[in-house]
Amino acid sequence: MVLRLVLGAVYTAMALGQLASLGRMPVVLGGYGLVHGASAGVLAVLLIVGELVCGLWFLTRPRSTVIAPVWVYSAVSLTWSVLAVQAYARGLAVDNCGCFGVYLTQRLGWFVLVQDALTLLYAAVLLRGARRVGAAPAPAQGRGSPVHRVRDDSEARTRAR
């Protein structure tokens, strides 16, 4: 739960910094050498939305067992990591990693790569924890018990989606 709260605070702060810098985010992302122009703008919006979704979810529902925000967090973390690793490997000089938009700027270097590696490690921890929750055996309940009926209803809603 503490990990989710910390990640929620960090990713919400990242999203807010990037949102406040929205007009400059395509240029920041263009510095990584993979996207430019309209595609950089689309990537910026996707990253901000993803960070807001998982960040706010982790902050407001830290005990939630819903897997979707964990996958969103993992996708956002993987995207930032891929951007950083490929730019670093290519020797690109990225003056602002863009994690917080134009605020709290960091030059792309080994420290940013370590931070990105940690976000991927945390993603693995969250995914592993989510898998354990999903695989946990349900307590034995009789067919007529209220707990069993609620579980049946939630399973039916899940299948209907």
Q: Give the pLDDT confidence of 18-63 residue by residue, as tens digits.
A: 999 999 999 999 999 999 999 999 999 999 999 999 999 999 999 9
Select the more confidently predicted residue: 150 or 99: 99
Closest to 29 (Cα-Cα) out of 14, 39, 19 = 39
Which residue type sits at 48?
I
Closest to 54 (Cα-Cα) out of 67, 73, 80, 71 = 73
Res. 149 pLDDT band, cuts 50 70 90: very low
Least confident of 18-27, 55-64, 113-122, 131-140: 131-140
Task: Kindly report the average pLDDT of the chain as a whole number.
Answer: 88
Reply yes or no on whether the pLDDT at 118 is more than 60: yes
| Residue 105 CA from chain centroid, whole number | 20
Q: Residue 78 carries which DSSP code?
A: H
CA distance 115 to 12: 16
The single residue listed with the structure tokens 């919400």 is 12
CA distance 58 to 73: 10
